[in-house]
A and B are shown apart, each in its own frame.
Chain A
Amino acid sequence: MTTTTARDVAGSVLDPELPVLSIDDLGILRDVTEDDQGRVHVQITPTYSGCPAMETIRTDLVEALTTAGYQHVSVEFVLSPAWTTDWISDEGRRKLEEYGVAPPAPAGADGPVALTLSVRCPHCGSVDTRESSRFGSTACKALWVCQSCREPFDHFKTL
């Protein structure tokens, strides 16, 4: 029962770069365990090897769990199995689009990186969009432009 609670608290921590998504939505929360001494151990996995948000997420996890009454919290980064955008929940995809970020296409299992042929504009819904830069404001996003409403937008890269 208590493990569920610790997991709920951990899962509700927000991603600092996409503050509408919880780390549970993003699929980077691996495991939360609590031992009989009340010590909580959290495992998270990075989206990209160099993702600079990981340290912030670690701090936020410790703070959230400490505030919720867990005195001994440890956070571990695990690399394997590698995160994929397929682990973003349906709820997470919906929130991304509402936030103005086009969600990633399905990656599929271990295949080559799929080239995205068309991305729907999160502002006006048009599919008349083009890639402006394969690399965007953060490691996980590419920059796109809508040809219909002329607005630029981020696209969460399929990984």
Chain B
Amino acid sequence: MTDRDGYALAVADDALISAQRMGWWISRAPQLEEDVALANIGLDQLGQARALLASVGDEDELAYLRDERAFRNVHLVERDQSDFGVAMVRLLLFSAWQSELYAALRASSDPTLAGVAGKAVKEVAYHLDHASRWVVRLGDGTGESHRRVQDALEQEWPFLDELFDGSWLDSALVDQGVAVDPAGLRDGVLARVLPVLEEATLTVPEVSPARGGGRQGLHTEQMGYLLAEMQHLARSHPGATW
């Protein structure tokens, strides 16, 4: 696999795995409107992933038939998010990062990366806005909602750092203008996230970064369960259609 394809896969897998977690919420969200919102957000992310996967190979094979070690997504998106506070905090962090990433990737020398980014940056603005509103509403809400969303923030914050780790990336790709240096996105992401946390009366956690490793194919235990659900049908019934 070329370095370019490896980079496109990383960006695609983040979106794909996040979309799979979003899909879990359909029929389980606290309001009917929220079912629809999270489904639509997941659909946008899935669309971004599909266009990128298709530029690497067969999108179905890549999504349904790759083994866990071949996925390059970060740990932030793959872990269980069956708590609504966790889901919204994570969407805040992830969509803030996607906003910065896609804004920068619009200038990529790779036409697919630039094309996907140009569309996605506008979609992600809606995701970020949606997550921001919920985090403010929950953080600056009742004592119980504040406590739970603060707990969610403590849990998710250690996984933010992996997004800014560029050690897996060949620096030549950045020099050629194909990829964006992940480390350079940190200030922009924090500039989007910190004012939301402040308005939500939340405290920025003082926690050590998690170990990471997703870009090298090293995943958390929960990734296996996620893939089992996502890939089961395609693996058990090859070529199934409906």
Contacts and interface: CB of A to CB of B under 8 A. Distances in A.
Interface of A: 46, 48-52, 78-84, 112-113, 132-139, 143, 157, 159
B217 interface: no
* Residue of A78, A83, A134 with highest tally of chain B CB at under 10 A: A134
Contacts of B120: 49
B92 to A, nearest CB: 15
Given A48-B47, A52-B43, A135-B130, A79 B115 contact: yes
A50 B126 CA distance: 14
Given A80-B114, A82-B119, A113 B129 contact: yes
Contacts of A112: 125
Contact of A134 (B43, B112, B130): B130
A159 B158 CA distance: 33
Interface size class of B (residues with CB under 8 A): 20 to 34
Interface of B: 33, 36-37, 39-41, 43-48, 50-51, 111-112, 114-116, 118-120, 122-123, 125-126, 129-130
B33 A49 contact: no
Contact of A137 (B36, B43, B114, B129): B36
Given A50-B45, A112-B125, A159-B122, A133 B37 contact: yes
Contact of A49 (B112, B123, B125, B129): B123
A48 B125 CA distance: 13
A43 B112 CA distance: 16
A154 B122 CA distance: 20
A52 B39 CA distance: 12
Contacts of A157: 126
Contact of A46 (B45, B46, B47): B47
A137 B33 CA distance: 10
Given A50-B46, A82-B118, A113-B122, A134 B129 contact: yes
